[in-house]
Amino acid sequence: MNQMTDLTKTDSSPMLRVSDLTHRVSLETDTLTILQGVSLEINRGESVAIVGRSGSGKTTLLGLLAGLDTPTEGTVELDGSVISKLSEDERAKLRARRVGFVFQSFQLLPALTALENVMLPLELAGMEAPEQRARELLERVGLGERLNHTPRQLSGGEQQRVAIARAFASDPAILFADEPTGNLDNRTGQAVSDLLMDLNREQGTTLVMVTHDEHLAERCGRQLHIEAGMLTEPDLAGGPAH
Amino acid sequence: MGASKKLMSVSRDWRERDVRVVLVALIIAVATVATIALFASQLQRTLVSSASSFLAADRQLEAENGRPIPLEWLEDAQSRGLETGRMVEFSTMVFGESGFQLVSVKAVSDEYPLRGEIEIQPGAEEPRQIVSQGPGPGQVWVNPRLLRLLELDIGDTLEVGNLKLEITRLLIREPDGGFRLSSLAPRVMMHVDDVAATGVVQEGSRVEYVYLFAGDEGVLDDYYQWLEPQLEPSHEWEGVRDGETFSRSLERAERFLLLGGSLAVLLAAVAVAVASRQYALSQRDTVALLKTLGLSSRGIGELYLRRLSLWGIVGVLGGLAVALPLFWLLVRLLSDVLERPVDFYLDPAALTPALLTALVSLFAFAYPPIRRLRNVPAMRVLRSQPGETGREAIPDILLAVVAVFGLVWMYAGELMLVAALLGGLVLLLGVLGLLGWGMVALLRRVKGGGNSWRLALVGLYRHRRASMAQMAVFAMTLMLAATLVLVRSSLLDDWQAQLPDDAPNHFLINIAPDAVDDVEEFWATRGAPLETLYPMVRGRLTELNGEPVKEAVSKDERVGALNRELNLTWMAELPEDNRIVDGQWFGPGETEGVSVEAELAEKLGLQLGDRLTFTIGSSKVTEPVTSIRTVQWDSMKPNFYMAFPPDGGLTDMPATWITAFYLNTDNKLALNDFSRQFPTVSVLEIDHIIDRIQQIVQQVTQAIEAILALILAAALVVMAAVVSATLRDRQREGALLRTLGGQQSLLARSTMLEFALLGFFAGTLGVIAAEGAVYALQAGMFEGTFRWHWQVMLPVPLIAAVLLALFGRWQLRPVLSVSPMLLLRRLE
Ligand SMILES: Nc1ncnc2c1ncn2[C@@H]1O[C@H](COP(=O)(O)OP(=O)(O)OP(=O)(O)O)[C@@H](O)[C@H]1O
Ligand SMILES: [Mg+2]
């Protein structure tokens, strides 16, 4: 809301540019190729769903796109920086300022209250008045009354809403979500995905999301299908969503 | 049922971090306790045999009345399986070719010495030898000084009364080297069967029959039970533990070892408790799953009980596998220190505490949190349930506390020790509670945290529950370790202070009043000035408030001092190392009253003002008790149970003077001149006894050091266990923080700072609690004087801070190296 102006001055370079990405892990006996020759571009403000069968490499791709890991071959350019050229700390800095995450298993710190959990990325990014902003966000996700509750005292849906508030807290340029509704029932999942899409639109964030939920995938501007580590023909409905 | 078998196997368990910690803690616990117990029992044996050798036996029975004891007393001892031996001691003139000399004869039976060895020299120029038997019939061994006095040589004949004996050896050192003030120099040793033929010892002559006993402690005690009612006042039963000088050192050493053992138990218990609780927490999901699959609560209870038993077996076997080689090494070390072989003595009974420790560790510390697993609701599978809040752990903690103190009490048998430790811990937990409360209140305000310092504080707040628990464990560990270090140093300091290098090592006894000045001058000119001279009057305590003392004192109290003549003295000033504990020392010009040694006063139940009657020769002296004082019996200076004021009750009583002085080995020949010039003065040479005591102190110090090292190692492991208990959480949290953009360096710095703060707090608390415990221990057990130990108090918190910071950094390694991808993979 308040930072929208900042983000609308987007330059024309894509938010994410991936070329010829290959990822292998070495196992005890041989090496396993998880991703092969993946190339894609995602523009600023776009929302993209990555879909595919279980074990097809969606999570691996997401992690590489977000710079949580470095690929074996190929480059990932995130917001103008080539990930593999950055040091571990530089990548961390980039994540602190530009990237938000939502996980399937919420990943809230159990010892912290909802408020403290949302404040965490703000503190790490060294932002001003973290508490103020965290309160606003929790109110926005409908948990204004549960600020001082710990994750244990919240239901799964509520926990995911806290996680969404946390993801948007540092005002990221891009948000990655790995099956954000995977642990939730249909109705709760619906509510959570509504929230995610709404916030995404309000904040003008680029959204990259792995999901098995067809409805949710359809609400995204574009869908990337992945099969056995390779992108299949992009959906024709793809293209910049505006 | 392959799957459930797999679930049960130790090798699978071993892959689980918390189980590894439990097993390692258990192994270390068993190893430490077993090593300490084995070594302590070995040391005990070595020390006791070392100290027993001062009596040449385990017990001595002395008959001062000039009559042998009834034969059946000895026969009874033999029938109980005790070893026995006899000696007759008397003074007589001996004749050589060119003169005669008053000597102190010790005639010994073949069995002498039952304990210890005799040191001899076959000739003046030949090397010294250790032998385990005295001279045979027809032979005599003599002090080298005697040969010079009589101008005799090895092979010459010495006449003792009517008997001619051949001088075959020079007598350098006898194990029971005359600690009694009645002995006269120089010494001559012969065979007891020759005594009758000398014709020197007649009915009523001044002679002392001494009987030696050695054997099992229990049998000795039983024998004494049987013997005691038949003893006469002139009979004196002496054992190492009753002997005043060595028993103190031994007792302290024993207590210290017990303290060390107890602390090891505590540390081990802490490690096991922490790790098993952690394990139980991590098992909750598995249990919920098993329940969903249809396993009953009972089945779950049995499953984990079986697993626990398996751990117990692994812990005990592993512990012993570590303890035995370690023990072997320590014994080797001990023989090096003693410069003589030490019998490898593996006492099976010493393994009992180790087994008990394993059992108690498992069932009082490891079991309770695991037992509660059966209550985990199956619902947990579907929805993460609130875990343990910590409140359920309160009965566990109570059980653990009771178990620990039960154990410590059982090992040490010392209520004082238990009370001191308990007091220290209560103090610690009290302060900890207060501090924790304050810390949480304070940290609540520190909310932000970009820089590492603030993040560290936030971290402390974030982990406040775990931090408090860790701090409690660290503080406790540090307290125990610090207590041990402090007690050790004050113990050693005390010893060193009591026996400086120039401690008096010769006594002069029986100095006639008119010879005092000449004797003083003699030694002053030879650079060996005398310590304070004391008059000495021999007398017996016969009445207490007008009643015969035997009736006044309850029958079952054995009071050695009543059985023999006491050395009474008078003095104007309180000796430096004596302390008045009740009443007042004699003022100037005061002539009434008597000052009584504190322990004797307590045994006799004496109060200030009680009237004591002494029988001295044919006269009686009655004086009120005006003060009670403590005496340093192990100071190697003349000490007295009873002290009168100058011109008080002892005036006009026949007194001789006694003193002590330090004479170094090079000056020993001066003793010959002295004996010639002052033939009536007895010289008591105790230099080799002092050497022996110093050797024992050395020995014990080494042992203490070895055990200390073990315990500190155990403490480190406990710390490692506790720190790594939160590793899983920290790993996840670290990955999350990094995903959210925290930089590695920031994470590293803040974690180190967090742990440093934790260490500092824990260190501070630990030393404060340790001071409390040391204060209590010292007041109650070690009889030392308490002082603050700034030299320990200041560095410990700092060292703890650095150590923990390093630990924190070390445990952070996986957190920093693990890829944040972990979070996406939902690695729990
Ligand atoms: N570090 C690794 N070591 C070994 N195999 C791996 C590793 N990471 C991923 N894989 C394998 O790569 C494949 C792709 O994994 P990934 O988690 O990306 O799949 P996914 O599409 O996210 O599946 P799902 O929908 O079930 O979450 C899987 O077969 C997985 O087992
Ligand atoms: Mg996945």
- Mean pLDDT is highest, among A84-93, A172-181, B536-545, for A172-181
Mean pLDDT of B775-797: 69
Report chain B's terminal Cα–Cα distance, integer Å. Answer: 27
Q: What is residue B184's predicted lDDT score, i.e. its pLDDT?
A: 43
Which of A22, A26, A27, A32 to probe ligand 1 with, by most ligand atoms within 8 A of CB?
Answer: A32
Mean pLDDT of B662-669: 82
Nearest-CB residue to B737 (from A116, A124, A170): A124
Which pLDDT band, with edges at 50, 70 and 90, does B537 fall under? confident
**What ligand 1 atom has the least distance to the C-alpha of A57?**
18
Q: What is residue A241's predicted lDDT score, i.e. its pLDDT?
A: 41
- Residue B492 clears pLDDT 80, i.e. is over it: no
Partner-chain contact B447 A130, CB within 8 Å:
yes
**Strand order, beta sheet including A81-82:** A31-42, A16-26, A73-78, A81-82
Looking at the CA of A61, which ligand is closest? Answer: 1
| Three-state SS at B709 | helix
**A92 contact residues in B (CB cutoff 8 A):** 738, 741-744
Nearest-CB residue to A103 (from B455, B743, B823): B823
**Comparison of pLDDT for B181 and A116, the residue scoring more:** A116
CA–CA gap between residue B588 and residue A194 (Å, rounded): 101
Of A64-68, B55-59, B297-301, B705-709, the one with minimum mean pLDDT is B705-709
- Residue B423 clears pLDDT 70, i.e. is over it: yes
Q: What is residue B205's predicted lDDT score, i.e. its pLDDT?
A: 64
Do residues A176 and A208 touch, judged by C-beta distance below 8 A? yes
| Three-state SS at B625 | strand
Q: Which positions in chain A have a beta carbon within 8 angstroms of at least one beta carbon in chain B?
A: 59, 62-63, 68-69, 88-89, 92-97, 99, 101, 103-105, 107, 109, 111-112, 116, 119-121, 123-126, 130-131, 152-153, 156, 166, 170, 178
pLDDT digits (tens, 9 = 90+) for B731-764: 777 778 888 877 777 778 888 888 888 888 888 8
Q: Does the predicted interface ipTM exceed a cut of 0.95?
A: no
Backbone angles phi, psi at A160, to 5 degrees: -70, -30
Q: Is the dihedral of CA B460, B463, B468, B470 positive or negative?
A: negative
Partner-chain contact B826 A105, CB within 8 Å:
yes
Which of A33, A56, A209 to probe ligand 1 with, by most ligand atoms within 8 A of CB?
Answer: A56
Instruction: Give percent above pLDDT 90 in chain B.
Output: 9
Mean pLDDT of B157-182: 77
**Comparison of pLDDT for B765 and B727, the residue scoring more:** B765
Mean pLDDT of B123-132: 82
Name the residue among B556, B557, B581, B586 with its Cα closest to residue B570: B586
- Residue A197 clears pLDDT 60, i.e. is over it: yes
- Residue B125 clears pLDDT 70, i.e. is over it: yes
Partner-chain contact B744 A123, CB within 8 Å:
no
Q: What is residue A236's predicted lDDT score, i.e. its pLDDT?
A: 46
Is B85 buried (19+), middle (13-18) or exposed (0-12) by CB count in 10 A?
buried
pLDDT digits (tens, 9 = 90+) for B679-705: 777 777 777 667 766 766 666 676 667
Q: How many other CB atoms are there within 10 angstroms of residue A121's CB atom?
A: 30
Q: What is residue A105's predicted lDDT score, i.e. its pLDDT?
A: 82
Partner-chain contact B741 A69, CB within 8 Å:
no
- Residue A50 clears pLDDT 90, i.e. is over it: yes
Is B261 buried (19+), middle (13-18) or exposed (0-12) by CB count in 10 A?
buried
Identity of the amino acid at A37: G
CATH number of A3-232: 3.40.50.300
Show me where the domains of chain B are located: 1-54+246-413, 55-239, 452-500+687-828, 506-685
Mean pLDDT of A72-80: 91
Of A1-15, B482-496, B554-568, B655-669, the one with minimum mean pLDDT is A1-15
CA–CA gap between residue B355 and residue B372 (Å, rounded): 25
**A95 contact residues in B (CB cutoff 8 A):** 739-741
Please tell me the distance in Å from A128's CA to the nearest CA on chain B: 9
Query: Which of A88, A133, A149 is most worth mutating to test chain B (most B CB atoms within 10 A of its CB)?
Result: A88
**Comparison of pLDDT for B341 and B176, the residue scoring more:** B176
**Comparison of pLDDT for A52 and B391, the residue scoring more:** A52
Query: Which of B385, B740, B828 is most worth mutating to test chain A (most A CB atoms within 10 A of its CB)?
Result: B740
- Measure A192 CA to ligand 1 centroid, in angstroms: 25
Q: What is residue B814's predicted lDDT score, i.e. its pLDDT?
A: 72
Partner-chain contact A109 B462, CB within 8 Å:
yes
**Comparison of pLDDT for B626 and A92, the residue scoring more:** B626
- Residue B784 clears pLDDT 70, i.e. is over it: no
**Comparison of pLDDT for B159 and B549, the residue scoring more:** B159
The environment of the single-atom ion ligand 2, i.e. residues with CB closer than 5 A, is: A 59
Which of A59, A70, A72, A224 to probe ligand 1 with, by most ligand atoms within 8 A of CB?
Answer: A59
Quote the crossing angle between the two packed helices B452-462 and B415-443, to the nearest 10°.
120
Tokens of A97: 């300022």
Closest residue (by CA) to atom 11 of ligand 1? A34
- Measure A59 CA to ligand 1 centroid, in angstroms: 7
For chain B, give the mean pLDDT: 77
Looking at the CA of B821, which ligand is closest? Answer: 1
Looking at the CA of A50, which ligand is closest? Answer: 1
Q: What is residue B139's predicted lDDT score, i.e. its pLDDT?
A: 94
Of A57-61, A115-119, A230-234, B263-267, the one with minimum mean pLDDT is B263-267
CA–CA gap between residue B599 and residue B525 (Å, rounded): 39
Instruction: Give percent above pLDDT 70 in chain B.
Output: 74
Which pLDDT band, with edges at 50, 70 and 90, does B211 fall under? very high
pLDDT digits (tens, 9 = 90+) for B289-314: 777 766 777 878 888 888 888 888 98
pLDDT digits (tens, 9 = 90+) for A94-104: 888 888 888 88
Q: What is residue B545's predicted lDDT score, i.e. its pLDDT?
A: 87
Query: Which of A95, A116, A183, A184 is most worth mutating to test chain B (most B CB atoms within 10 A of its CB)?
Result: A95
Q: What is residue B41's predicted lDDT score, i.e. its pLDDT?
A: 72
Identity of the amino acid at B563: N
CA–CA gap between residue B358 and residue B651 (Å, rounded): 66
Which helix (DSSP H) or strand (DSSP E) does residue B612 occupy? Answer: strand B611-616
CB-defined contacts A:B, below 8 A: 88
- Measure B827 CA to ligand 1 centroid, in angstroms: 13
Closest residue (by CA) to atom 4 of ligand 1? A25
